[in-house]
């Protein structure tokens, strides 16, 4: 944030760093200068995006005394992504320019850079009953974050605020939504308030004046931090973060929203209305909506109807997945363009449904659900005419082991009856891809083993190395169940963790996962 | 990790079994009990195979147990109906320390229960259960998961023995990089399967080095013959070593040269130099 004096500072560093000459482009990686500064970086990797046919250029350079030299570039380059890396090549900071603009000699390009941090938030349901039927009391909880620039595994202790039901990243900016909960359903109700969260130190600021109605479902932000789109069960809202106002764009239940910034700098909202559940029969009643935010291109309007399950934006374009047709396509303000069929997906026995989508630099990450309880992640080029073979990055059938409390060694392995991908997002410009899953387990009573009838619900955050599919973080934020019968000896149970999985350090750190987002995330 | 359960649940009719470290080579029999289900054929044999591969236990399958116990084994097992004390008596007659009882029943899903019954105490020491979709078959990894949860961790620590004998006394023995003492040395019990580098060294003698792959429960004898230095190999002569050092030093100097020279190219016409800083 202290970037204005860069030229003078570069001049002062001239003896140790590369000299700045008239005509050079000065690239300033703007870190917060606070406790959340990226640390441990020794090199920088920069992707310079140019218009066709120039394409993208990747440069990397060693950082010496806070300065680096990337050689020479074509002045037609229009936007920049920068990743700070440590000695082992891991991303410890990432940022990108919000708008496209041609470079000029003597100009200064500022790229805000932040740590790669994933945020999850959600409510808490506690069983306060004493019988076999749970009586749930719902409350709000702080958001949890996982800082991928440090090697610590998540345990729920890294928290922000006190009542976060949704976190929204908008480039280098972060916002938190608070809203009241209701018993015993857990539905969010009352006015939804939006509070800025500092990405320098995670301090929560004062609520913006604008409020929203309906239970909040999803949110997205523009890279420049100026606009947010928020979907609730009753309306689609646009938030002007500078004026602090919220205005409704359309009526209806909007469960997926995304923001697209076009090459000309126009900001639009794309959203899915009436998204159906992804388990069970496929619903084709979902609607794709488009709403111009910064232009006079008219009001929010319906573009298409189908089995739309998720949206993503990348490079000024918006994309969708259709869970029923098994297709990945592009959506514009007026139509859906030629989609790409995803092999092995669609409706039919054994076929997976594409239910989640994130796109980064032309690479689509598609979340797959196969009934009854297998979730997976597939990577493919987003281009409809691409000939690349989609690659499965990860796939797993949900299982959960429960321990009989007080009976060492007595365990029960449960297979899930359903598993759903709730959120999917790419972090650090494509180094990481993260998703959250929720799964439901039922174990029938087993008289021979004194095992009772039991149901369990789990919610997890998984962060993968986007190139290899290796698990970087696997954090179970929620695991709770109900024992519906008992046979004498075994009473309470708890959830076991598997190898590579971490869980909340204590029940007070647990919460459901209503949202997941990265700073500078792509979804 | 929340504890969940019935508030009125009755605890402690079966006391938790306190485990010491049981003999990792004890005899264990694996029996299969079916409650009218034909699902998961061959599951007991797969558990026997998994235990034999993962542990040093003396594992007997149902056929081997029947050969010792008699052909009425299956009838007795059915009469036991999964009751731990009854099943333990079968184990007692075989001389087994434990019985692994695999139960298969169907209740919509296929219910698989695996109980580890302590023969002496006639109690269930541990148990795991899984419900599988009809037609579903547990993978080898799942079966390995069942057995690791069923048996104490010490059962999965396996060892082998390496006996190192040298023609000299007072030679230093190093195994896997760790000094193990001077010859003559007792046979070493080491984790297996693993590969160990062995070095036997004494001043004035050419060191003995070798690498051995130690299988679980295997015994390997290593005979180290150390001979006096005298006719040194060509690469041990001082002038060869000195020349090699020179080559290494030369390479280092080259690296330093390339690491410090100025590689920034002249800016071609029509291009911009790009330099940056972190602020």
Q: Would you kindly state where each structural domain of chain A is located, as residue ranges?
A: 6-112, 116-214, 398-506
- Rounded to a whole number of angstroms, the distance from the CA of B107 to the nearest CA of chain A is 8
The confidence score (pLDDT) of residue B211 equals: 83
Q: Do the chains contact at A444 and B82, CB–CB below 8 Å?
A: no
3-state secondary structure of A430: helix
Least confident stretch, A120-129, A268-277, A483-492: A483-492
Cβ contacts of B131 on chain A, cutoff 8 Å = 414-415, 443-444
B106 and B165 share a domain? no
Bridge-based pairing state of the strands A340-341 and A353-360: unpaired
Min Cα distance B20 → chain A (Å) is 13
Q: How far is A167 from chain B (nearest CA, A)?
A: 24
Q: Given B224, B242, B267, which residue is the final one in a domain?
A: B224
Q: Least CB-CB distance to B274: which of A25, A451, A495? A: A25
Q: Most B CBs within 10 Å: which of A33, A83, A114, A410, as the mutation test of the B interface?
A: A410
Which residues does residue B96 pair with via DSSP β-bridges, in sequence order? none
**pLDDT of res. B5:** 60
What would the DSSP string read from start to end of B216-248?
Answer: TT-EEEEEE---BSSS--GGGSHHHHHHHHHHH
Highest-confidence segment of A66-80, A429-443, A478-492:
A429-443
Same domain? B191 vs B119: no
Contact between B1 and A494 using a beta-carbon 8 Å cutoff:
yes
Residue B242 has pLDDT above 80, yes or no: no
Task: Chain A: give the shortest CA distance to residue B218, in Å.
Answer: 29
Using pLDDT thresholds of 50, 70 and 90, give the confidence band for residue B36.
Answer: confident
Q: Does residue A453 belong to the interface with chain B, where contact is any CB pair within 8 Å?
A: no
Rounded CA-CA distance A273/A309 in Å is: 10
pLDDT band at A63 (very low <50, low <70, confident <90, very high): very high
**pLDDT average, residue stretch A14-29:** 64
∠ CA(A145), CA(A128), CA(A179), 5° rounding? 45
Mention every residue, 6+ apart, whose C-beta is less than 8 A from residue A486.
A452, B5, B6, B9, B10
Between positions 459 and 488 of A, the ones with CB within 8 A of B are: 479-483, 486, 488
pLDDT (0 to 100) of residue B245: 31
pLDDT band at A148 (very low <50, low <70, confident <90, very high): very high
Residue A389 has pLDDT above 60, yes or no: yes
Contacts of A293 (CB under 8 A, 6+ apart): A227, A229, A238, A259, A266, A267, A268, A269
* Min Cα–Cα distance to chain A from B116, Å: 10
Contacts of B253 (CB under 8 A, 6+ apart): none
- Same-domain check for residues B127 and B202: no
Task: Give the residue from chain A lying closest to B19, CA to CA.
Answer: A408
Chain B residues whose CB is inside 8 A of the A73 CB are: 271-272, 274
- pLDDT digits 0-9 by tens, B39-49: 899 999 999 99
Q: What is the pLDDT of residues A339-348, one digit of tens each?
A: 888 988 988 8
Same domain, B36 and B147: yes
- C-alpha A44: how far from chain center: 24
Angstrom distance (rounded) from CA B271 to CA A74: 5
Mean pLDDT, chain B, rounded, equals 77
Taking the Cβ of residue A53 and every Cβ of chain B, the question of whether any pair is shorter than 8 Å is answered with no
Give the pLDDT band (50/70/90) at residue B268.
low
pLDDT digits (tens, 9 = 90+) for A250-282: 999 999 999 999 878 899 999 999 999 999 889
Question: Which pLDDT score, from 0 to 100, does residue B14 have?
Answer: 31
In terms of domains, do B78 and B172 share one?
Answer: no
Query: How many CB contacts within 8 angstroms connect chain A with chain B?
Result: 221
Based on the structure, what is the number of domains in chain B?
Answer: 2
What CATH number should be reported for the domain holding residue B174?
Answer: 2.60.40.10
Nearest CA in chain B to A31: B279
Range picked from A24-38, A126-140, B116-130 for highest mean pLDDT: A24-38
Lowest mean pLDDT among A164-168, A372-376, A498-502: A498-502
CA of A222, closest CA in chain B: separation in Å?
A: 23
pLDDT for res B159:
82
Flag if B108 and A444 touch (Cβ within 8 Å): yes
**CA–CA distances in Å: residue A219 to residues A182, A230, B125, B145:** 21, 4, 51, 40
Of B8, B152, B277, the CB nearest to A28: B277
Q: Do B272 and A75 touch (CB under 8 A)?
A: yes
- Three-class SS state of B149: helix
Closest chain B C-alpha to A422 CA, distance in angstroms: 22
Kindly give, in sequence order, each residue whose CB lies less than 8 Å from that of residue A402, ignoring residues fewer than 6 positions away.
A411, A412, A414, A443, A454, A456, A481, A493, A494, A495, A496
pLDDT at A57 over 90: no
Q: Cβ of B9 and A480 within 8 Å?
A: no
Cβ <8 Å between A444 and B111: yes
Query: Which residues in chain A have Cβ-Cβ distances shorter than 8 Å to B2?
Result: 479-480, 494-495, 507, 510
ipTM of the predicted structure? 0.75
Percent of chain A past pLDDT 70, that is, above it, reads 95
Residue A6 is nearest to which of B6, B113, B279, comparing CB atoms?
Answer: B279
Task: Determine, for residues B5 and A483 on separate chains, whether the beta-carbon distance falls below 8 Å.
Answer: yes
Interface test with B, best of A409, A455, A484, A488 (most B CBs within 10 A): A409
Same domain? B112 vs B201? no
Q: Is some CB atom of chain B closer than 8 A to the CB atom of A35?
A: no
In this structure, of A174-188, A359-373, B230-244, the range with the lowest mean pLDDT score is B230-244
B152 & B180 share domain: no
CATH number reported for the structural domain that contains residue B58 in this entry = 3.40.50.10070
In a shared domain, residues B43 and B58: yes
Q: What is the pLDDT of residues B50-77, one digit of tens each?
A: 998 888 899 999 999 998 899 899 889 8
Locate the chain B residue with the closest alpha carbon to A1.
B279
Q: At which of B175, B208, B224 does a domain end?
A: B224
| CB contacts, 8 Å: A28 with chain B | 276-279
Residue burial A136-171, b: 16+ Cβ < 10 Å; e: rest: eebebbbbbbbbbbeeeebebebbbbebbbbbbbbb
Query: Are residues B62 and B95 both part of a single domain?
Result: yes
A63 touches B: beta carbon within 8 Å: yes
Please determine, for residue A225, whether its predicted confidence score (pLDDT) is greater than 50.
Answer: yes
CB contact under 8 Å between B277 and A67, yes or no, is yes
Give me the domain span that covers residue B218. Answer: 159-224
CA–CA gap between residue B234 and residue B229 (Å, rounded) = 13
In a domain, B10, yes or no: no
Chain-chain contact of B12 with A406 (C-beta, under 8 angstroms): yes
Q: Give which of A101, A61, A62 is closest to A80, Cα–Cα.
A: A101
- The reported pTM is 0.69
- pLDDT exceeds cutoff 50 at A17: no
Contact B273 A23 (CB under 8 A): yes
Residue identified by tokens 């932000």 is: A221
For residue B233, being part of any structural domain is answered with: no
B96 and B186 housed in the same domain? no
Interface contact flag, A481 B4, Cβ < 8 Å = yes
Q: How far apart are CA B234 and CA B236, in angstroms?
A: 5
- With beta carbons under 8 A apart, name residues in chain B contacting A489: 10-14
A74 in contact with B, Cβ within 8 Å: yes
Task: Looking at the structure, tell me whether residues B108 and B196 fall in a common domain.
Answer: no
**Residue B149 counted as domain residue:** yes
Residue B265, domain member (yes or no):
no
Q: What is the pLDDT of residues A307-358, one digit of tens each?
A: 999 999 998 999 999 999 999 999 999 999 978 889 889 888 889 999 999 9
| pLDDT tens sequence across B151-201 | 988 888 878 889 999 998 899 999 988 889 999 999 898 888 888 889 999
* CB-based contact, A10 to chain B, within 8 Å: yes
CB contact under 8 A, B272 and A105: yes
In chain A, which among 101-130 make CB contacts under 8 A with chain B?
A: 103-105, 113, 127, 130
- What are the structure tokens assigned to B16, written together? 């938790």
Q: Which residue has the tokens 């029947």?
A: B66
B142 and B73 housed in the same domain: yes
Distance CA A178, CA A190 (A): 10
d(CA A120, nearest CA chain B) in Å: 18
The mean per-residue pLDDT over the stretch A457-468 comes to: 94
Of the residues B106, B132, B156, which one is the last residue of a structural domain?
A: B156
Q: Of the ranges A50-59, A106-115, A408-417, B268-277, which one carries the lowest mean pLDDT score?
A: B268-277
């Amino acid at each position: 944030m202290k970037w204005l004096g860069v030229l003078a500072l570069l001049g002062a560093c001239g003896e140790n760093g590369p000299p700045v000459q008239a005509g050079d482009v000065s690239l300033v990686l703007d870190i917060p200068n606070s406790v959340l500064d990226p640390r441990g970086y020794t090199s920088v990797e920069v992707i310079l995006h140019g218009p066709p046919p120039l394409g993208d250029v990747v440069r990397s350079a060693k950082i010496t005394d806070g300065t680096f030299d990337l050689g020479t570039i074509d002045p037609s380059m229009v936007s920049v992504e920068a990743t700070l890396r440590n000695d082992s090549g891991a991303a410890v900071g990432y940022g990108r320019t919000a708008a496209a603009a041609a470079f000029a000699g003597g100009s200064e390009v500022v790229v805000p850079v932040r740590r790669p941090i994933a945020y999850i938030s959600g409510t808490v349901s506690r069983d306060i009953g004493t019988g076999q039927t749970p009586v749930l009391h719902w409350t709000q909880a702080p958001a949890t974050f996982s800082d991928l620039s440090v090697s610590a595994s998540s345990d729920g202790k890294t928290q922000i605020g006190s009542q976060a039901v949704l976190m929204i990243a908008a480039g280098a900016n972060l916002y938190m939504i608070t809203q009241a909960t209701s018993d015993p359903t857990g539905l969010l109700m009352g006015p939804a308030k939006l509070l800025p969260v500092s990405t320098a130190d995670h301090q929560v600021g004062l609520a913006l004046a604008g409020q929203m109605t309906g239970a909040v479902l999803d949110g997205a932000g523009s890279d420049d931090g100026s606009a947010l789109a928020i979907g609730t069960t009753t309306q689609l809202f646009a938030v002007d973060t500078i004026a602090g106002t919220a205005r409704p764009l359309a009526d209806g239940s909007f469960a997926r929203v995304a923001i697209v910034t076009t090459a000309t700098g126009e900001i639009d909202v794309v959203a899915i209305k009436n998204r159906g559940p992804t388990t069970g029969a496929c619903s084709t009643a979902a609607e794709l909506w488009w709403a111009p935010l910064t232009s006079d291109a008219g009001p929010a309007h319906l573009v298409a109807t189908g089995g739309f399950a998720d949206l993503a934006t990348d490079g000024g374009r918006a994309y969708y997945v259709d869970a029923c047709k098994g297709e990945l396509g592009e959506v514009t303000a007026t139509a859906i363009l030629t989609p790409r069929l995803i092999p092995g997906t669609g409706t039919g026995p054994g076929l997976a449904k594409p239910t989640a989508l994130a796109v980064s630099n032309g690479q689509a990450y598609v979340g797959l659900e196969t009934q009854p309880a297998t979730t997976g992640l597939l990577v493919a080029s987003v281009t409809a005419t691409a000939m690349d073979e989609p690659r499965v990055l990860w796939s797993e059938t949900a299982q959960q082991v429960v321990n009989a409390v007080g009976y060492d060694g007595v365990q029960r392995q449960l297979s899930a009856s359903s598993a759903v991908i709730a959120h999917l997002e790419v972090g650090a410009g494509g180094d990481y891809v993260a998703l959250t899953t929720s799964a439901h387990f039922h174990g029938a009573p087993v008289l021979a083993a004194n095992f009772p009838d039991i149901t369990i619900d789990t919610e997890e955050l998984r962060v993968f190395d986007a190139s290899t599919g290796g698990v970087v973080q696997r954090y179970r934020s929620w695991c709770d169940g109900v024992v519906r019968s008992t046979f004498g000896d075994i009473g309470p149970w708890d959830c076991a963790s598997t190898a590579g999985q971490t869980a909340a350090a204590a029940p007070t750190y647990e919460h459901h996962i209503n949202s997941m987002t990265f700073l500078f995330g792509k979804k | 990790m929340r504890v969940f359960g019935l508030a009125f649940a009755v605890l402690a009719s079966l006391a938790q079994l306190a485990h010491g470290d049981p003999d990792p080579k004890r005899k264990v029999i694996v029996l299969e009990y079916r409650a009218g289900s034909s699902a998961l054929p061959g599951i007991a044999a797969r558990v026997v195979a998994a235990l034999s591969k993962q542990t040093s236990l003396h594992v007997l399958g149902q056929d081997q147990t029947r050969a010792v116990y008699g052909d009425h084994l299956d009838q007795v097992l059915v009469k036991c109906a999964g009751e731990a004390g009854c099943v333990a008596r079968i184990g007692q007659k075989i001389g087994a320390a434990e019985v692994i009882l695999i139960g298969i029943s169907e209740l919509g899903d296929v219910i698989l229960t695996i109980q580890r019954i302590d023969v002496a105490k006639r109690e269930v020491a541990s148990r795991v259960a899984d419900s599988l979709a009809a037609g579903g078959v547990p993978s080898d990894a799942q079966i390995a998961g069942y057995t690791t949860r069923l048996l104490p961790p010490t059962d999965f620590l396996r060892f082998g023995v390496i006996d190192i004998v040298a023609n000299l006394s007072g030679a230093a023995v190093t195994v896997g990089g760790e000094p193990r003492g001077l010859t003559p040395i007792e046979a070493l019990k080491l984790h297996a399967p693993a590969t160990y580098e062995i070095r036997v060294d004494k001043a004035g003698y050419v060191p003995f080095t070798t690498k051995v792959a130690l299988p679980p429960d295997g015994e390997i004898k290593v005979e180290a013959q150390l001979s006096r230095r005298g006719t040194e190999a060509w690469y041990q002569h001082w002038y060869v070593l000195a020349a090699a050092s020179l080559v290494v030093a030369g390479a280092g100097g080259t690296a330093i040269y390339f690491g410090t020279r100025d590689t920034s190219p002249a800016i071609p016409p029509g291009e911009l130099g790009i330099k940056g800083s972190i602020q």
